[in-house]
Amino acid sequence: MTDLAPSPAVRTRPPGRPRWAVLGEQLLEWIIRLCGISAILFVLGIFYFVFAKAAPILVSGDFSLREFLFSTQWYPTSEVNVRYGTLALTVGTLAVTVLAMLLAVPFGLGAAVFVSEFCGPRLKEILKVVIELLAAIPSVVWGFIGLTVMKTVIEKTTGAAVGVNVLNGGIILALMSVPIIVSIGEDALKAVPDSYREAAIALGTTRWQLVCRVLLPAAKTGLLAAVLLGVGRAIGETMAVLMATGHAVNIPHSLLDPVRTLTATIAAELGEAPEDSNHYRVLFLIGVLLFTITFVINLTADLVIRGIRKK
Amino acid sequence: MVTPPKTIEVQNLRLAYGPKEVIHGISFDVRRHEILGVIGPAQSGKTSLLRCINRTIEFTPGVHLQGAVRVDGEDVQKVRDVFALRRKIGMVAPLPVGLPLTIYDNVAFAPRCSGMRSRSELDGLVEQCLRQAALWDEVKDRLKTLGTKLSGGQQQRLTIARALSHQPEILCLDEFSIAIDPVTTMRIEEVLKELRKEMTIILVTNLVQQARRLADRTMFLWNGEIVELDRSDVVFSEQPRDRRTYEYVNGIFG
Ligand SMILES: Nc1ncnc2c1ncn2[C@@H]1O[C@H](COP(=O)(O)OP(=O)(O)O)[C@@H](O)[C@H]1O
Ligand SMILES: [Mg+2]
């Protein structure tokens, strides 16, 4: 402690780390930076690939973007009267997704609140395992359930002629989205510091007030992420909706009408369409449309959250 | 001298976290409109004691509690409306916990939860509490900014304003000055001198001199036992009843 003699020696050798450590750190930094950028590159790359496949149709003479977006006539393989109108498909996708979200968001967030705040530790463990299991069920299996169990239930209870329709697809998609919403929503609630809970409880709040006035607002960004991932799964889902919605090009007028979605159309027709035919390109353009829809939804949600935060 | 009525009675309180007992059967009273100072080294059970009084202790899994804590003669373990009990007690934590709300909403939080809706009533109450906590002049032009944007000392006064917002009879402060500067500490101490006229205050403090300055009576809690509880002038005199008190107060141990 009192020996000050070595201090000049220390001064002559500046406190530095070996060269390889510094270089290694820089390398690591670059690798991490690359990982971060790669996410953007992948998204752009996918968009470019899909768009490039679709682009030729946009400039070709016998195609109108207006018709593509706003016509309900989808006759891609007709000999005489080819029509590439996707409005019915878009409406079908939105109908099924909106119904699925109307069911899944309240149910999923409610379950997340229950798991995180209201149930005991034992039940919590069990529920989390079950929810993870649910999330791992492949979509074909869900489609199969829609096609068999749900179909009969809907035909029996509503008297609908065909049990594969908006209602069926919406319920199946809701069941698929709920586990995602629950597990991510629960993480978001768990991330709220306990000190908030203690502070609010010490102020005499009941459990419900604690949830509604403190936890939900504090966790709102994470909860929105949960909902968005749920929406993403619902919009992007192909196999289950292909099987459960009836696959009929049709603007639905009730929950019991069959519809067809954008994704299911791509999945069902891409294999048949000759490469670089107009049909093939239009299917890719549908991919671009899907991209745009999800992008707009994410952007809106982001802006909404930002608005809330500013307020 | 007539003894003032008791606000809190603690009788033979024992508290254990799982197998580890941290409060070993203590008994004491807090009188109406007094400031009771609680001093003692870290880990001696001061925070746990406060959490027994407003029953937030029950959120820690595995606690065992024996004995009784009575607030206004009512055993807190048996009260019918625990939320009303908690509203009777204002609690200020060592580190300020700003709820993620605006300054206004932080203070209006508890009144709103108990059903106060009228804007003018809320405005009045918010102003009154912020004034009581000596914060009004500093924030009156930015009530709509987030509470977490304030400085540490201001945030601590905000939590005091919030603790006053449900008009408690009892105010518990747990080492409130641990993270704030001496000047702000002195300002809050002035605030407490004003508040003692209206409410009973339990002042847990890491600053021995703070208890000496403010407390009518001081309790020296050590390892979950009361070493000494007496008028502050006795506790801080040259001859307290227990040798350990003298040593702790004068910085010889602890
Ligand atoms: N949540 C808890 N779980 C387990 N032990 C705890 C918990 N909180 C406090 N303790 C223990 O209780 C004893 C008293 O702690 P505390 O009441 O915080 O004392 P103080 O506030 O005087 O520092 C300590 O030994 C501490 O380790
Ligand atoms: Mg403490």
Q: For residue A253, what pLDDT is reported?
A: 92
In the block, residue with structure tokens 């995602």: A180
**Is A203 in contact with B93 (Cβ distance < 8 A)?**
no
pLDDT for res B202? 96
Identify the pLDDT of residue B97.
81
Q: Report chain A's terminal Cα–Cα distance, integer Å.
A: 57
DSSP string, B2-35: PPPPEEEEEEEEEEEETTEEEEEEEEEEEETT-E
Look up residue B44 and give its DSSP letter.
Answer: S
Which value does ipTM take for this structure? 0.86
CB of A308 within 8 Å of a chain B CB? The answer is: no
**Which tens digits make up the pLDDT trace of B97-138?**
878 889 999 999 999 998 889 999 999 999 999 999 989 999
The answer to the question of residue B95 being in a domain is: yes
pLDDT surpasses 70 at B254: no
* Residue A53 domain-assigned (yes or no): no
Q: Which two tokens stand for residue B52?
A: 């027994």
- Mean pLDDT for B153-171 is 93
Answer yes or no: do B83 and A213 touch at CB < 8 A. Answer: no
Q: Which of residues 72-131 of B touch A (CB under 8 A)?
A: 83-87, 89, 91, 93, 95, 97, 99-101, 109-110, 112-114
Give me the DSSP letters along A236-296: H--HHHHHHSB------SSTTS-B--HHHHHHHHTTTSPTTSHHHHHHHHHHHHHHHHHHH
| Phi, psi angle pair for B101, to nearest 5° | -135, 175
CATH number for A233: 1.10.3720.10
User: Quick one: pLDDT at residue B59?
Assistant: 87
B22 lines ligand 1 (CB under 6 A): yes
* B93: closest CA of chain A, how far (Å): 8
- Give me the mean pLDDT over the A24-47 stretch: 93
For chain A, say whether B48 makes contact (Cβ under 8 Å): no
- Tokens in use for A80? 């005489």
At residue A83, φ and ψ (nearest 5 deg) are -135, 135
Cβ B48 under 6 angstroms from ligand 1: yes
Nearest CB to A204; choose among B97, B114, B159: B114
Q: Does B145 touch chain A (CB under 8 A)?
A: no
Cβ neighbours, 10 Å, residue A234: 27
* Among candidate residues A232, A195, A234, the one with its CA nearest the CA of residue A215: A195
CB A178 within 8 A of CB A137: no
A203 to B89: CB separation less than 8 angstroms, yes or no: no
Residue B237: how many other CB atoms lie within 10 Å? 14
Q: What is the pLDDT of residue A12?
A: 56
pLDDT tens-place string over residues A199-211: 999 999 999 999 9
Q: How many CB atoms lie within 10 A of CB B13?
A: 22
Antiparallel, parallel or unpaired: β B170-174 and B63-71: unpaired
- Note whether B99 contacts A202, CB cutoff 8 Å: no
- Say what the pLDDT of residue A309 is: 65
Smallest CA-to-CA distance from B141 within B176, B173, B103, B109 is with B103
Q: How far apart are CA A270 and CA B39, in angstroms?
A: 77
CA–CA distance, A238 with A242 (Å, rounded to integer): 6
Average pLDDT, chain B: 91
Long-range contacts of B75-84 (CB under 8 A, 24+ apart): B76/B52, B82/B55, B83/A204, B83/A205, B83/A206, B84/A204
Q: Which of B113, B116, B167, B171 to mutate to test the interface with A (most CBs of A within 10 A)?
A: B113
CA distance A241 to A250: 15
The string of pLDDT tens digits covering residues B209-228 is 999 999 999 999 999 999 99
Asked if residue A301 has pLDDT above 90, the reply is no
Strand B200-204 relative to strand B170-174, pairing: parallel
Residue A101 has a pLDDT of 94
Q: What is the DSSP letter of B78?
A: T
- Which pLDDT value is given to residue B86? 93
The alpha carbon of B28 and the centre of ligand 1 are apart by a number of angstroms equal to 20
Which H or E element spans position B171? Answer: strand B170-174
Kindly report the protein residue whose alpha carbon is nearest to atom 8 of ligand 1: B48
| DSSP bridge pairs for B13 | B26
pLDDT tens figures, A51-89: 999 999 988 877 888 999 999 999 988 888 888 999 999
B43 lines ligand 1 (CB under 6 A): yes
The ligand minimizing its distance to the Cα of B38 is 1
Nearest chain A residue to B55 by CA: give it.
Answer: A202
Q: Which residues surround ligand 2, an ion (CB under 5 A)?
A: B 47
Q: Do A205 and B93 touch (CB under 8 A)?
A: no
Count of the separate structural domains present in chain B: 1
Residue contact A203–B113, C-beta within 8 A: yes
- pLDDT at residue B239 above 90? no
Establish if A4 belongs to a structural domain. Answer: no
Angle between helix axes A87-113 and A262-269 (nearest 10 degrees) is 120
- Ligand 1 centroid–CA B48 distance in Å is 6
> What distance in Å separates the CA atoms of residue A17 and residue B237, rounded to the nearest whole number?
57
Q: What domain range includes position A149? A: 74-310
Evaluate whether A287 touches A277 at the Cβ level (below 8 Å). no
Ligand with an atom nearest the CA of residue B15: 1
Q: How far is the CA of B44 from the centre of ligand 1 (A)?
A: 8
Q: Residue B245's domain spans which residues?
A: 6-249
In a domain, B106, yes or no: yes
Pick the residue of A195, A203, A213 with the most B CBs within 10 A to test the interface with B by mutation.
Answer: A203
pLDDT above 70: residue A276: yes
Please tell me if residue A125 touches chain B, with a CB cutoff of 8 Å: no
> Measured between alpha carbons, how far is A152 from A92 in angstroms, rounded to an integer?
22
Spell out which residues of chain A touch residue B100, defining contact as CB-CB under 8 Å: 196, 217-218
The mean pLDDT value of chain A amounts to 89
- Residue B1 reports pLDDT greater than 70: no
> Who among B61, B85, B97 is closest to A199 (CB)?
B97
In chain A, which residues have their Cβ closer than 8 Å to the Cβ of B93?
195, 198-199
Q: Is B62 on the interface with A (CB under 8 A)?
A: no
Lookup: tokens for B25: 């059967």
Q: Quick check: A91 pLDDT over 90?
A: yes
User: Using a CB-CB distance cutoff of 8 angstroms, which residues of chain A are in contact with residue B83?
Assistant: 204-206
Transcribe B172-215 into DSSP letters.
EEESTTTTS-HHHHHHHHHHHHHHTTTSEEEEE-S-HHHHHHH-
Q: Which of B21, B26, B47 to mutate to test the pocket of ligand 1 (most atoms within 8 A of CB)?
A: B47
Q: Cβ of A24 under 8 Å from any chain B Cβ?
A: no
The alpha-carbon gap from A309 to the nearest alpha carbon of chain B, in Å, equals: 10
pLDDT 10s digits, B4-15: 678 899 999 999
Characterize A1-12 residue by residue with b for buried, 16 or more Cβ atoms within 10 angstroms of its Cβ, and e for exposed. Answer: eeeeeeeeeeee
pLDDT at B184: 87
Contact of B52 with chain A, judged by CB distance below 8 Å, is answered with: no
- For chain A, the C-alpha Rg in angstroms (whole number) is 26
The pairing of beta strand B35-39 with beta strand B6-17: unpaired
For residue B48, the distance in angstroms to the closest alpha carbon of chain A comes to 13
Q: What angle is formed at CA B250 by the lines to CA B249 and CA B251, rounded to 5 degrees? A: 95
Chain A positions in Cβ-Cβ contact with residue B87 (cut-off 8 Å) = 203-204
Tell me if B1 is assigned to some domain.
Answer: no
Percent of chain A with pLDDT over 90: 64
Tell me the longest C-alpha to C-alpha distance in chain B: 56
Q: Is A214 on the interface with B (CB under 8 A)?
A: yes
Asked if the structure places residue B98 within a domain, the reply is yes
Average pLDDT estimate for A18-22: 88
**Number of structural domains found in chain A:** 1
The pLDDT confidence band at residue B229, using thresholds 50, 70 and 90, is very high
Average pLDDT over residues B39-49: 93
Q: Under a CB-based contact definition with an 8 Å cutoff, are residues B188 and B156 in contact? A: yes
Model pLDDT, residue B206: 87
In CATH, what number is assigned to the domain containing residue B191? 3.40.50.300
pLDDT tens per residue, range A233-272 = 888 888 899 999 988 998 999 999 999 999 999 999 999 9
Is the pLDDT assigned to residue A295 strictly greater than 60? yes
CA pair distance A4, A78, nearest whole angstrom: 94
Instruction: Pick the residue from chain A with its C-alpha nearest to B102.
Output: A311
